[in-house]
Structure formats: C-alpha cells, structure tokens
Amino acid sequence: GEGRQASFLLRALRIAVVVCLYWFTSIAMVFLNKYLLDSPSLRLNAPIFVTFFQCALTAALCLGLSMGAACGSPCSGLPTLRLDPKVSRSVLPLSAVFIGMVTSNNLCLKYVGVAFYNVGRSLTTVFNVLLSYLLLKQTTSLYALLACGVIIGGFWLGVDQEGAEGTLSWTGTFFGILASLCVSLNAIYTKKVLPVVDGSIWRLTFYNNVNACVLFFPLMMLLGEFRTLYHFDKLGSSSFWGMMTLGGLFGFAIGYVTGLQIKFTSPLTHNVSGTAKACAQTVLAVIYFEETKSLLWWTSNLMVLGGSFAYTWVKGLEMRKVQEDPNVKSSERNDTGV
C-alpha cells in the first residue's frame, strides 16, 4: 500500500536529513576551528583558550537546557544538573582523557592542514584494537587486523608524502596520534564511568566540560595565553566572538547530532557515514585552500578511508553472526565504538 510507501519515504527522508545535519555540523566545525586556531587573518596563538571557551560554552548550554527542562520547556526529558563534588571526582579520570582528546584534537588541527587532518587522526581504530586487547582482553579477528594494517600503511604513506611536499608538521602528527589514542581511551572510560552519573551521557558531558574548564585555567596561565589574549587586537571584535560562539555551538551540537545519527541508522552506518564525511572534508579542504596533492598523497587518504571502511564492515559481519548464533562466546561480543 500507499501508506507503507509513504512511511518508508518519510523514514528515508528523516535519515537523509540527520546524515546531512551530521555532515554539515562536523565539517563546518573543523573549518571553523581551523580558522580560530591557525588563521593568518586572525593570528591568535591561544589554542587552549579556544578549547576552554568551547568547553565552558558546552557546560553553560547543558546547564541552561536543564534549567529550561525544569521549567517544563520542550526538552523536559533532560535530568536536572547540579554539581556534586563527589561525582566530579569520580569522573576525573575520564575528564583527564577527555581533556587530552579535545586539546590534542585542536592542536593537531592547528599544526596540520585540514586536508591531512583526517589521516593525522586515523589511528583511532588501531588504538581501539590495541586497547581492547590490553585493557579488556578482547581479541580481534584476522580480517579486522588486516584492515588495521591498511590504515597504518595509509597513515605512514601520508606522513611520508606530507614530508615529500614539505608540509609535514611533526608536532601536528604527534598530536594527531595522541588524539587518536585519547578518542579510543575515551570510548572505553565512558562505559566505565557512566554508572556514576546514572547512565546519563548528558550529565557526563556536563561534568566533563566543567572539570575541563577548571583544569584548563592553570594550563592557560602556564602557557602564557592570558598575555597573548591581552595583546590580541581583535579581543573587542564582535565577529571574533561570533565565530568563537559558533565554534562552541557546533562543538555542542556534534554530540547531539552524532547520537541522532546512531539512533536513526546504526552504529555501523554512523561509522560509514563518518568515513564518507572525512573523504568529502579532505576534498573540500584541498579545493578551498587551493592545494595540489600528489597521487601517492591521495592514495594514503584512500588507504585510510578504505581500511576504516573495511574494519567497520568486518565488525558488522561479526556482530551479525553473533546475533544469529547464540552459542558464540560472550568474549567476542564487543560492540563497535565510534
């Protein structure tokens, strides 16, 4: 019938909207952050401050929305937030990883081009495999390991090609590897810490960002960023603060949109969408920054994307097998992270 067809179309449309929303938010955020962290027209050398501002805005938005929920506004499903120092302390190990993640992410973006950014942070999957073996004693199938091999090869070739073109930043690459490690640790620690906040990702986001703000403060003093800000010529410029706020809003929205995409598709489709988005982002960056890249450079990108895609696909097949065959040992039942 017509009714079923209409509902299918509606569902397809909704998925398309969610995926587009995810792509737009994610890509816009990367380009905006690149501008804030390392734009010749802005010339602001305060990466920790930019990160701090985004965390502060996220915490404030969480609080604001939760207060709105308390007053019975549309988002009434949200839990009320209050700062419990005991919970804050329990969340601290995760916050340390979270801080490492957002900071190294932004520092990687500061030192490498947007085009290379994706390759620079491509080792997350490899760290997922490594850490689930070291921390959770989970083994990985041969095919998944081969996919990881392709990713490592792509990363290595990418670094090699950036070097050949004279655009390689070792600092950026180091922070890219660190960011990959932190993203992977973050996924593992989140599962551990969630019970402390009654399983609410919302509460966890709030605590993480508040903790981050507190810890960023001494870091900014240490790195002399307050002095940098004091001498910054656009400190009174509304367009600068507009960009900063927009960056923070996108940073806040990305968590929500990622959740939406997983909810309306599946963790697997989310990974595939993320891989495709990274590809589009790279092409856009090369066009936008008017760069010319060698064939081998593009090959490295394709290896990273292909490897990530293959890994996701292999994991998906394994999960389906586990669901169909109830006799598979529970040790093999590990869900794919982001």
CB within 8 Å of 48: residues ≥ 6 apart? 103, 216, 219, 220, 223, 225
What is the model's pLDDT at position 77?
Answer: 64
- Exposed, middle or buried, 21 (CB in 10 Å: 0-12/13-18/19+)? middle
Q: Give pLDDT tens digits along the chain (338 positions).
A: 778 888 899 999 999 999 999 999 999 999 999 999 999 999 999 999 999 999 999 999 999 988 887 776 565 567 788 889 999 999 999 999 999 999 999 999 999 999 999 999 999 999 999 999 999 899 999 999 999 999 999 999 999 999 999 999 999 999 999 999 999 999 889 988 999 998 888 899 999 999 999 999 999 999 999 999 999 999 999 999 999 999 999 999 998 899 889 888 888 889 889 999 999 999 999 999 999 999 999 999 999 999 999 999 999 899 888 888 766 555 444 444 43
User: For residue 49, what are its two tokens?
Assistant: 């401050």
Report the alpha-carbon distance of residue 207 to residue 212 in Å, rounded. 8
User: For residue 272, what are its two tokens?
Assistant: 């595939």
Report the alpha-carbon distance of residue 285 to residue 130 in Å, rounded. 31
Report the alpha-carbon distance of residue 7 to residue 19 in Å, rounded. 18
CB within 8 Å of 293: residues ≥ 6 apart? 115, 161, 165, 286
Residue from 201, 199, 206 nearest 256 by CA: 201
Report the alpha-carbon distance of residue 251 to residue 187 in Å, rounded. 18
User: For residue 6, what are its two tokens?
Assistant: 């209409």
Report the alpha-carbon distance of residue 116 to residue 94 in Å, rounded. 28
Q: Report the phi/psi class of residue 224: left, alpha or beta, with left for phi > 0 and alpha for psi in -120 to 50.
A: left
CB within 8 Å of 189: residues ≥ 6 apart? 93, 94, 97
**SS3 annotation, the chain:** CHHHHHHHHHHHHHHHHHHHHHHHHHHHHHHHHHHHHHCCCCCCCCHHHHHHHHHHHHHHHHHHHHHHHHCCCCCCCCCCCCCCHHHHHHHHHHHHHHHHHHHHHHHHHHHCCHHHHHHHCCCHHHHHHHHHHHCCCCCCCHHHHHHHHHHHHHHHHHHHHHHHCCCCCHHHHHHHHHHHHHHHHHHHHHHHHHHHHCCCHHHHHHHHHHHHHHHHHHHHHHCCHHHHHHCCCCCCCHHHHHHHHHHHHHHHHHHHHHHHHHHHCCHHHHHHHHHHHHHHHHHHHHHHCCCCCCHHHHHHHHHHHHHHHHHHHHHHHHHHHHHHCCCCCHHHCCCCCC
Its pTM stands at: 0.90
Count how many residues are written for the chain.
338
What is the model's pLDDT at position 51?
Answer: 97
Residue from 138, 88, 114 nearest 33 by CA: 114
